[in-house]
Amino acid sequence: MKQLRPNKKWVLAAIGLLLVLLITKTVLFLAAKPKVKVDYVAEYNRTSRPQNYDPRQNAAPYYQKAFDAFVDVPDELRKYIKLKKPHVNWPVDFSDAEQALLEKWLASNTMAFEYFREASNKPYYWLERKANTKNNINDIKTPDLACLREFTEALTWDAKLKAVNDQFKAAFENILVCYKAGNQKCCSNLFLIEQYAGLHSKTSAIESAFVIIDRSQVDNIALKFLQDNMQVEIGNETYMPSIRAEKYFLYDALQRYFLDNGKGTGRLAFNVNLKYITLGGIWPNLKHKLHYCFKGPTRNDTEEQIKKVIALSDKAMTKTPWQIQNEGNNYLVEIRKINKANFFLETLGINPVGIFFSYHKTRAQTNALIAVLAILRYKADTDGFPESLDKLVSSGYLQNVPRDPYSNKSLVYKVTEDDFKLYSVGDNFKDDGGKDKLDDIYWPVQKQMEETFISKYKPQEADSYSRYGL
C-alpha cells in the first residue's frame, strides 16, 4: 500500500483542522444568544414616577376602588355605549325601555363614580408597571387603560342624562372629571399608549360637552361654570407629547435580539425568533436573516439611530402642524426615513406622527369649546352674536382668541343668518368655508361629531398624512 508523503499528511491535517474550526464557529454562531443585562421595566418605572412622589397624592388606589366597584354596561346597551352606534349620542335617542335601562345602569355606578371623582382630583395617576415575563418590557399589560375608557363612556352618558333633567352644573362636573382624568395620563414620561388614553378621555369629554350645549337650553350660569373651569384646566396644562418612554421598548428589544461582543458591533443573533420578518417561505426568511446577521446594522448603529429619532421627535413636538408643513425642516419625514433604513427600527420603531396630530386636534377642540361657551354667553347677554372673536376678548367673555394649529391664525368664526360657525381649516391647511369632511367643524355640532373628533384621528391611521411626505 502506497504511503502518503509527509507534506500531504500536513495538508490533510490542516484541512481537517479548518473544517473543525469552521464547524465549531458555525455551531457557536448558530447557538450564540443575546445577553439581557438591563431591566428596562425598572428603568421605565424609575423615570415615569412623578418627582417628589407621595403615595398619598397618587390617584391610582382611588381609581382601583372605582374599577372594582364598576358595574359593566348591560348587554342591551353595549352596541350603543361600547360600539358607539352612529346617531345615538343622547338619552332620548334610546327607546323608552333602553332609556330606563340606561338610568338604572348609571344609578348602579353611583359609588364607583364617587371614587372616580375623588381620584381625578389628585395631582397624578401613576402605576408601577410589571411584566408577565421577568424584565421583558414587551410583556407589560395595561388593563387600567381599558377601565379608564369605560369610565369615561359611563360618566359622559351620566352627564348627558343629567342635562336631560336640567342638572347642567352636575352634568358639567362630570365633563370636568373626565377631562381631568385624561390630563393625568397626558404625561410625557409615560408610554404612548397611556398618553393616547389620556387624549381619548379629554376628547370624549369635550365632544360630550358640545352635544350637551347643542341639544339643551343651558343656562348662562352653567355655561360660565364650565368655561371658567375649562380655562383653569387648560391654563395649568404643561403637557407636550413625547416618545421618550418608548426608547425602553427599543433598548430592551435591542438587547434581546442583538449579540453583545462588548464593542457594540454585534449584529442580529441567528437563533432569536424574528417575528417581524414576514416574507413568505423558509428560504426567503433564511436569506434575510443571514443578511441581517452578517451585513445588517450593528448595536451601536441602531442605538445611535434610536437617539436621533427621539431627538427629532422632541423637536417636532415643539411645532404645530402648520409649522411642520411650512418650515424647511420636516422632522417627521426625517424620522420616517431613519426607520425605513433600519429593518429593526422599521418594524419595532416608534413613530410619533399619531400622537403629534392627536395632541393638536384635542388642543384645538378644547379651545374651540371655550370659545363656543363664550359666544353663547355673549348671545344670552346681548341678544346677538359678537362680530368677531376679538370682540369676545375686549368685552371680557374670553381670555384669548383660540389659535388654529393648521393655519397659524385664529380659528375661523363666521356669523350666519341665525347662528354661527366655528372651525379649523384642518389638515389640508385650506379654508374650505366650513365644509364638513374638509374643515374641522366645531359649531354647529355635526350629527357624527364623534366620528369627526375621535375615529378620524386614530393613531394607526396617522401615517396617511401624505401632505407631510409621510
Confidence at residue 460, expressed as pLDDT on a 0 to 100 scale: 38
| Euclidean distance between CA atoms 152 and 122, whole angstroms | 17
344 three-state secondary structure: helix
Q: What is the per-residue pLDDT for 461? A: 39
User: Residue type at 15?
Assistant: I
CB atoms within 10 A of CB 29: 14
Q: Which sequence spans correspond to the domains of the chain?
A: 50-127+142-241, 252-355, 382-470
Q: Is the pLDDT of residue 164 over 80?
A: yes
Dig out the grid coordinates for 58 from the structure: 397618587
Query: What pLDDT is recorded for position 28?
Result: 47
258: helix, strand or coil: strand
CA distance 198 to 203: 9
Q: Where do the H-state alpha helices sit in 383-429? A: 389-394
For residue 397, what is the DSSP state? S
Tell me which DSSP letter residue 396 carries: T
pLDDT band at 293 (very low <50, low <70, confident <90, very high): confident
pLDDT tier at 405 (50, 70, 90 boundaries)?
A: very high
pLDDT value at residue 363: 95
Identity at 239, one-letter amino acid code: Y
Which residues, in sequence order, are bridge partners of residue 404?
409
Q: Are 298 and 265 in contact (CB under 8 A)?
A: yes
* Cross-strand pairs, 136: none
Beta strands across the sheet bearing 420-424: 412-415, 420-424, 440-443
Q: What is the largest CA-CA distance in the chain?
A: 121
Encode pLDDT of 436-450 as tens digits.
Answer: 888 999 999 975 444
CA 27 from chain centre, in angstroms, equals 44
Q: Which of 101, 109, 82, 99 is nearest to 174 (CA)?
A: 109
